[in-house]
Amino acid sequence: MLLYHAMQEQPEHNLDSSIFIIIEQIKHGDAQDPTLRVKIAELNYKAASKAMGNSNSAAAYLYANAAIKLLPPDHWESHYDLSRNIFLVLGNAALADRHLEMATSALDEILCKGKSLNDKLDAYYLKISLLHGCQKVKEAYDTTVDVLLQLGEHVPEEVEPATAVKMVANIQAKLSKMAEEDLMSMKKMESELHYSLMRFLSYICFIAYFVKPQMLKWFACRTVELTLEHGICKYSALGLMRYASVLGGKLIHQTDESYRVGKMALKLNEQFDATDLVPCLHEVYYALIAVHVEPLQSCADMLKRGFEIGLSVGDIRTALSMVSCLIFYLLLIHLVSLVHKSLTLIYFVSPYTTEHSICFGMNLSALKKECDYQMRLKDSQSRPMIKMYMSAWHETISSLISREGSSTLSSSDDASRVKEFSETLILHGVLQHFWQGHYSRVLYLAEKSSPTSGECGNLTG
């Protein structure tokens, strides 16, 4: 342990730069002194935190585990802050590295032993992310609502459509008068309570999309209300982006304003330099908003960039959720490059897509290889819902290559049990039958599609 004592005399910046080397040397020793073991646990925690900052979740997981083993049996009483910090970084690293049982155990430990709500908020946030990533969206939604209630924010069970539209109109009356410079120059949010509310409200928007889509407008409006009343924070960008997607939706249908607010949200995120939020922002903006205005190839490129950033910052759930949309865009780019004179297909891509969106193409075999890779990635990440979507794309691309074959997706037991997957089945049926020349079947499926569908709602008209 001479190395440890010599290290104590080093300046903090020297210690930080060589923390990994020091830990590797110390772990070969056998410290028995309880005080010394706690000091080494602190070093392992610093190493784990630095590894997570470098997007090395595997190393962070090992360092955090080593730190826990060095703590005394009564560590929650004798070293409360250190214990909470170590278990939090362990939960974060385990989640990013897909050790889901360990992540659950570490986060539940904090939720059980934490002394106050503030001490538990980070663990709650990661726990909700874990549940969301494991397709336990109802449990994730209920947990988030419970946290918001503890923070003093009551979430209604239901909101009438007319009430939601009125909320959107009230917000829009204020935002329409704001230029980008006005938003950037707003005061920073100072209240920790409002900051926490923004954090969980902006996240529940993504969960509500699957559990209670009728509540999405309420959550989006509430985040913007808090921003306008109490100032901007990093999560204001997420709230504005979700609000922008609401503006461009079927009920409101303000495409130009949706695009303007979405660009403001991206600019605001640049001001806070919040790289961890880029995947979520790209997912909403380039999949739901920009696609109506910007070239399809540009949207596909930015989705790919969001996917890569998601992997680098450990946001695997968002990264993988973007893949299905990315494959869809690349496939459409290929199709419209071959049949760009077909007004039916141009309208299918989007009623707002400009002619600039149809001047690119991609080889279907290359696209199929990309889809194969993404499916293998889904297997390794144990994400059955996303794998179902990718399987649909794999079958469609194979059908386009061979110009033959019948769909097996509609008979899938897993697919039939997932309500929100039904529109996706119709979409893929349309793509396959259109390519094979079965136009009467295309019209039948288009009429079968819900008029409010996000997947196929633009097929008829």
Q: pLDDT digit string (tens) for 280-298?
A: 999 999 988 998 888 878 8
By three-state DSSP, how is residue 153 classified? Answer: coil
Residue 329's CB is within 10 A of a number of other CB atoms, namely 25
Interatomic CA distance for residues 454 and 450, integer angstroms: 9
- At 287 the pLDDT is 87
Check residue 381 and give its pLDDT. Answer: 57
| pLDDT score of 437 | 67
SS3 of residue 232 by DSSP: strand
Dist. CA 376–CA 56, nearest whole Å: 21
Per-residue pLDDT at 15: 55
Task: Name the nearest CA neighbour of 304 among 325, 332, 273, 333.
Answer: 325
Q: How far is residue 425 from each of residues 37, 306, 348, 391, 395, measured CA to CA in Å? A: 57, 26, 16, 11, 11
d(CA 205, CA 307): 20
Query: Structural domain boundaries of the chain?
Result: 2-115, 148-272
Predicted confidence at residue 442, as pLDDT, reads 67
Instruction: Give the number of other Cβ atoms within 10 Å of residue 250's Cβ.
Output: 11
Rounded Cα–Cα distance for residues 315 and 317 (Å): 6
By the 10 Å C-beta count (0-12 exposed, 13-18 middle, 19+ buried), 5 is classed as: exposed
Using CA atoms, how far apart are residues 69 and 135, in angstroms rounded to an integer? 32
- Burial of residue 276, with CB atoms counted within 10 A of its CB: 0-12 exposed, 13-18 middle, 19 or more buried: middle
User: What pLDDT does 454 receive?
Assistant: 42
**Half-sphere exposure in the Cβ direction for 381 (13 Å, CA):** 26
CB atoms within 10 A of CB 375: 16
pLDDT at 326: 74
As given in the structure block, the two tokens for residue 5 are 């004592």
Output the six-digit token pair for 160. 């009438």
* Beta bridge pairs of residue 188: 232
Across the chain, which has 461 residues, the per-10-residue mean pLDDT values are: 50 61 67 84 92 89 93 95 97 90 96 96 95 90 97 94 89 91 94 96 91 92 96 95 88 83 95 92 91 84 88 80 73 57 39 34 62 65 62 72 55 46 67 69 64 42 37
pLDDT value of position 444: 72
Give me 147's structure tokens.
Answer: 């946290």
pLDDT of residue 96: 86
Spatial neighbors of 123 by CB under 8 A, at least 6 apart, are 87, 88, 91, 107, 110, 111, 114
Distance between CA atoms of 353 and 355, rounded to whole angstroms? 7
Give residues with Cβ within 8 angstroms of 247, minimum separation 6. Answer: 168, 172, 254, 257, 258, 261
Answer yes or no: are the C-beta atoms of 425 and 460 closer than 8 Å.
Answer: no
What is the model's pLDDT at position 151? 97
